[in-house]
Amino acid sequence: MAITGNTIRDLVKKWELRKATLETLFQDALYSFEGETKKSPTLLSEQIFEAEQKIVKLQVAQVAFNSTTFVESRLLGKSLSLTEIVKLVGAYERMTKLWAGTIPKKPKESKYRDTTHTAPVRNTTQVVAKEALSLEEKATLIEKYSKLLGHLKGLVSEGNNRVVPTVILDPSLLDE
């Protein structure tokens, strides 16, 4: 049997959900009214720990998969591991958000304050600070980072759809 990165990710999510459910049951099992039957907190804690161990094994398999799966990037002109691509996605998301935050929002009309300026203003003389970059330059940077971000997300999808032998994954994690 073969697996994909998506299979591993879905299994991680499944076990994290199972663990969260068991943790809720554990909290509820700590107290009971007379005549009420609940699962043993000790048994539940053992099941939580088993879920934790399975999540660790799956995450180790995910690291192995991501480290050994390479995807060719036409935009960057080189082959990258999924590990590197996933980290770059985070970096490009942060850069896109950083530059998108520099685009002024249309100020709300206010009868109590001057909303004609978006840059810092000295109240005494109304001297407006000059922006370091024009709106067009900012838009160009946002577009650059957004384009590369979209490209990288496509590479993640491509890499995660690759089929690899299950040798990196304990077959018991596929049961249940």
Cβ atoms within 10 Å, residue 48: 18
pLDDT tens by residue, 89-127: 999 999 999 999 988 776 655 555 555 556 665 566 667
Give the 3-state secondary structure of residue 69: coil
pLDDT attached to residue 152:
94
Residue type, 34: E
Q: What is the pLDDT of residue 67?
A: 93
Tell me what percent of the residues of the chain surpass a pLDDT of 90: 66
Nearest Cα neighbor of 170 from 78, 50, 75 is 50
pLDDT of residue 171: 74
Residue 170: per-residue pLDDT: 75
Q: What does the pLDDT read at residue 166?
A: 65
The segments of the chain whose pLDDT lies below 50 read none
Measured in whole angstroms, how far is the alpha carbon of residue 169 from the centre of its chain? 23
> In whole angstroms, what is the distance from residue 85 CA to residue 171 CA?
27
- Please report the pLDDT score of residue 126 as a whole number: 67
